[in-house]
A and B are shown apart, each in its own frame.
Chain A
């Protein structure tokens, strides 16, 4: 952050049109999150590969066709994709310098994320009852690792966005909080995109064999 920009942050002058990119620190953060998303893509690619290699190894447990219930997973997908939309609306609110709008839409994003997590936990409990466990077969290990890694990203995302909402409530939209919000919403989109692949590769392809 150059000195002129910093002075700007400390006095309460009006925010520039794209406050998240107004400081070097903000620009660094945005580039940094894109790089992190690149690394995370590779991480998920490895887990997808492992899953595809092991998905037939269900041993005596249920197969993918027997296990997956598309309606519930479709509902979870819809919830998560909607949360991506609401986070976009939150960023729009940020650009309009409208704290209320930011709090509303990011709040809804967090709630939708939590609902998704709830459905996922319910789903896991169901599967365990049907004999599909983490330690029972290589398929089970690969399934729970892939979906669980995604789920932990969702958990991290909603915790992160909640923390940022508290900061916005305390300090308002500043040159410091706006890049954070923007970066968190980028991360949230990435988590959603990964889920689109999980829905296709794991659930849909699991149904058609």
Chain B
């Protein structure tokens, strides 16, 4: 511990020398490096790309963990990875995939698309946007450090107490979970707050709420769910941290504690979380389907209200994860009915997607393939959800592979298909060139078939009695073949994911022949009215929005670009700043210190955080101006 302190002080000393003016040459060398621009950026388009890289990075971890588990389950009584190691794999797989893959990749799409779709020059709080990303990265890295030092978390992604307390989980595994998620959670909450403020305050003239594209709408509702859903997790994680680190007794039954409190707090967060990750995917599907069917979205208003209703009901159903806790038939029935009620707005959405395609002029691009593949897959996941919503039936399915199959159908069939669809769709807007469509189709079909091969059979593995989270089964259970089929499917999904990576590489090499232009898909919404990638200020003049699908409307009127809502004038932009990454570093140091029970280091990290907050508050930062000549030059160049 003392060594750690010495090392940290030494590191801070070096940082002080390098940044404190002792070595001006070094600083200017840092600042002229291309990486500096990315580390300090507050541009939402760059932060979107950073989120995509971060999410992709953790996807490698989560994917390898999944494959290792499937390899262990290939044979009955396999001894490849057993016991605690297997528990660590399944806990980290779940946590990583939800918090460090699904959420950042959705934030990537939101950052890239939402400000462009509403005609804004940036988000409401560019500084918070950068801070949110760096906190996510700090939290994710802290959590994965568990693999190197002292063991990874091993109490499942739900981290149920009392098995997550010191008595049953000695060592620092759970501490990585508690502090890593806490830090990442702060970042996510800031991101949600930022997008709410952006969508409320920064819409272009004429962009009324009922003219916003569906992706913006679903991002809006998901952000509201983040804002009100993450604080219960924050509270719950604090309680676990107090119990583990500071000797509190929240969950210690012998001293009057109650473990069910954690379950409630976790699921009051955890159920909205499901909608946080699936609603933006719904939005991607809505935009993609309407784009590639070349039709206005069927039932736009009902889609908006279905989204709001799902968001509202998402907070009313958390206890359906706890039917077997013993809350009594009355409570269980109320939550069962509320849960089934969610099927109504979701059904509205599914029918609207199909009616949008009905009679449309459909192009099956890769983005559209993912959207079309998503509909039946997600419906399957939804139907098993209704089955699980019935308490008497849930008593049978509870904690079996049936549940595993159910939520992978929703999370992969919904969220991952949505993310991949969105990446294929907005890639040209992000980088200026399309992804290769042939490889894209290979990517879709291999991933899609691999997915169903892996998880369809898991419904039956569960119905035959295999509990989730077990690291082995017996030959006489009669589920060997089923598990082997599932593993083969998982490998196929891995190949599918590699094909996506291959596509990125191949498309990058051939980017000159894949140049997208402003509007590669003959799009309908505002982001396709500007160049790809957009200039740093997005819109030289804020556009005047005259209808839903406003860009399509202008094209039908024969206009080549949006009608401007303001005269050409110089544009004010925020400065890049290294403070977000320094503040996140402070949180990271603090978290690491607490994990190692080095409380001095924990405090030291928080001091770094507070000092950066002072600097941010006291140092005026007026940003800079882009002059009219420069804007005109950019316009001509594009």
Contact = CB atoms under 8 A, between A and B. Distances in A.
Contacts of B232: 42-43, 46
- Size bin of chain A's contact surface: 35 or more
Given A6-B572, A32-B193, A167-B618, A50 B231 contact: no
B201 A28 contact: yes
Contact of B197 (A31, A42, A163): A31
A135 B249 contact: yes
B250 A54 contact: yes
A31 B261 contact: no
Contacts of B197: 28, 31-32, 35
Given A6-B622, A50-B239, A35 B193 contact: yes
A6 to B, nearest CB: 5
Contacts of B35: none
B617 A163 contact: yes
Given A28-B197, A32-B197, A137 B265 contact: no
A72 interface: no
Interface in A12-61: 24, 27-28, 31-32, 35-36, 38-40, 42-43, 46-47, 49-50, 53-54, 56-59
Interface stretch (B68-76, B252-260, B397-405, B442-450): B252-260
B200 A31 contact: yes
Interface in B195-215: 196-197, 200-202
B235 A47 contact: yes
Contacts of B261: 49-50, 53-54
Contacts of B572: 1-3, 6
Contact of A3 (B238, B268, B571, B620): B571
A39 B194 CA distance: 13
Nearest to A171: B620
B461 interface: no
Nearest to B610: A159
B247 interface: yes
| Most chain A CB atoms below 10 A, which of B230, B246, B257, B625 | B257
B570 interface: yes
| Most chain A CB atoms below 10 A, which of B234, B249, B264 | B249
Nearest to B223: A35
Contact of B622 (A10, A32, A54): A10
Contact of B230 (A1, A39, A58, A141): A39
A31 B255 contact: no
A53 B249 CA distance: 13
A43 B249 contact: no
Nearest to A176: B620
A157 interface: no
B208 to A, nearest CB: 18
B231 A43 contact: yes
B14 interface: no
Contact of B193 (A39, A56, A134): A39
Nearest to B230: A39
A133 B417 CA distance: 51
Contact of A54 (B196, B227, B258): B258
Contact of A142 (B246, B250, B264): B250
Contacts of A105: none
A139 B572 CA distance: 53
Interface residues of B, number: 45
A58 to B, nearest CB: 7
Classify the interface of chain B: helix, strand, loop or mixed. Answer: helix
A16 B622 CA distance: 19
| Most chain A CB atoms below 10 A, which of B197, B238, B252 | B197
B614 A163 contact: yes
Interface in B43-94: none
A140 interface: yes
B230 A138 contact: no
A131 interface: no
Contact of A46 (B200, B227, B231, B248): B231
A74 B485 CA distance: 68
Given A28-B124, A138-B255, A163-B618, A36 B193 contact: yes
A79 B300 CA distance: 53
B563 interface: no
A118 interface: no
B235 A138 contact: no
Contact of B227 (A9, A38, A49, A180): A38
B236 interface: yes
Nearest to A141: B248
A171 B125 CA distance: 23
Contacts of B201: 24, 27-28, 31
Given A24-B201, A38-B228, A138-B257, A50 B235 contact: yes
A3 B569 contact: yes
B95 interface: no
Given A39-B189, A137-B249, A140-B249, A58 B256 contact: yes
B239 A145 contact: yes
Contacts of A180: 617
Given A10-B622, A163-B614, A167-B617, A141 B242 contact: yes
A3 B625 contact: yes
Contacts of B202: 24, 28
A138 B189 contact: no
A134 B246 contact: yes
Interface in B177-193: 189, 193
Nearest to A50: B261
A46 B268 contact: yes
Interface string A128-152: 0000001111111110010000000
A30 B180 CA distance: 30
Nearest to A166: B618
B258 A138 contact: yes
Given A3-B572, A167-B617, A32 B249 contact: no
B311 to A, nearest CB: 14
Given A141-B250, A142-B250, A43 B124 contact: no
Contacts of B618: 163, 166-167
B271 to A, nearest CB: 14
Interface of A: 1-3, 6, 9-10, 24, 27-28, 31-32, 35-36, 38-40, 42-43, 46-47, 49-50, 53-54, 56-59, 134-142, 145, 163-164, 166-167, 171, 176, 180
23 contacts: A3-B625, A6-B622, A10-B622, A24-B201, A28-B197, A31-B200, A32-B193, A32-B197, A35-B227, A39-B230, A42-B231, A43-B231, A46-B231, A50-B235, A54-B261, A56-B256, A59-B255, A134-B246, A137-B249, A138-B258, A145-B242, A163-B614, A166-B618
Given A28-B197, A135-B247, 13 more contacts: A9-B622, A28-B202, A31-B124, A39-B189, A40-B231, A42-B232, A49-B264, A54-B250, A57-B257, A138-B255, A138-B256, A141-B242, A141-B249
Q: Which 10 A-B pairs have the closest CB atoms?
A: A57-B256, A138-B256, A141-B248, A46-B235, A43-B231, A42-B231, A135-B247, A138-B257, A28-B124, A138-B249
